[in-house]
Amino acid sequence: MSGQNALINPTRDPYQLLQIVRNPDGTITRSLNIPETPPTFDPSLPISVLSKDILINQSNNTWVRIYLPREALDSSSHLKLPLIVYCHGGGFVIYSAASSHVHDHCVRLANELRVIIASVEYRLTPEHRLPAAYDDVVEALYRIKTTQDDWLTKYADFSNCFIMGMSAGGNIAYQAGLRVAAEADHLGPLNVRGLILQQPFFSGTQRSESELRLVNDPTLPLCVSDLLWELSLPIGVDRDHEYCNPTVGGGSKLLEKIRLLGWKVLVTGCDGDLLFDRQVELVKLLEDHGVHVVGHFGVGGCHGVDFHDSSRGKAFLEQVKNFILI
């Protein structure tokens, strides 16, 4: 397939695929049944990772779920653990930090990486269009830096913090990271050392080769990607807005700040993902700006493959572990 006229299957309704209905007032009704898991903070329970929620902004109904490896409580060592601020996926439109699959993923990250996870409950689009989610993550970082919560003050190494996200969460981690880099002097004692972007969600007005090749992909078809951006971007802009296409205008001027701060960035993906070319473009952009970037790209797979394929999920965890330790 070539050219810009992607042959989108007209029988595939992106609203139906996402199980959402658009309302006249601009909101959406979400009918997808998404199980949720409450936090578990009782240390007497025989579990490897404890969790609890901390309020960020009551008026915005935002909060952060903290995941603490149990061994931190049981250990006589005073060695603190790295802190990863996590942004869940869902195209900016669905899922929550309380969604069971997000909760389970964060438990696994905390357990296998031996880190503390702070998973942010950010506002969803289209009710709260971008940059609301970016602002929520930045606000979460400021809340974390001033917290008196004992799990964070006793066990988190504030000098060793990363912002991480999957899919749309990867986009949020990147855009929030740019904002944090601009304000790094005000975040102490919290010191962000880099970004971890797992199959981050980006696009543009010009169709990429992977978008054309995977236009009717069963996991993330192009019609769904386009609709998610339509519901998420500020009213009146197209997909070449900086929130969607980070390469526009040669990239953000704040990339120079990221370089000067010495941050490192991990970008992962696979060529079976509709978003593959965008992720490769992001790595090249970061390289061109002198940012320390590590790209890991696999063959085959699909969007979200790390959640469905245990061997790929294990490989991703190993990549993150090695990246944090660099």
Catalytic residues: 167, 273, 303
Contacts of 239 (CB under 8 A, 6+ apart): 203, 204, 205, 226, 229, 233, 245
Q: Beta partners for 117? A: 67, 84
Q: Whole-angstrom Cα distance, residue 174 to residue 232?
A: 16
Q: Whole-angstrom Cα distance, residue 183 to residue 141?
A: 11
102 in helix, strand or coil?
helix
Single out the residue of 171, 157, 10 nearest to residue 84, CA to CA. 157
Contacts of 228 (CB under 8 A, 6+ apart): 18, 91, 92, 93, 168, 201
Q: Which amino acid is at 255?
A: L
Measured over the CA atoms of residue 210, residue 215, residue 220 and residue 224, the dihedral's sign is positive
Q: Whole-angstrom Cα distance, residue 139 to residue 67?
A: 19
Q: Which helix (H) or strand (E) holds 162?
A: strand 156-166
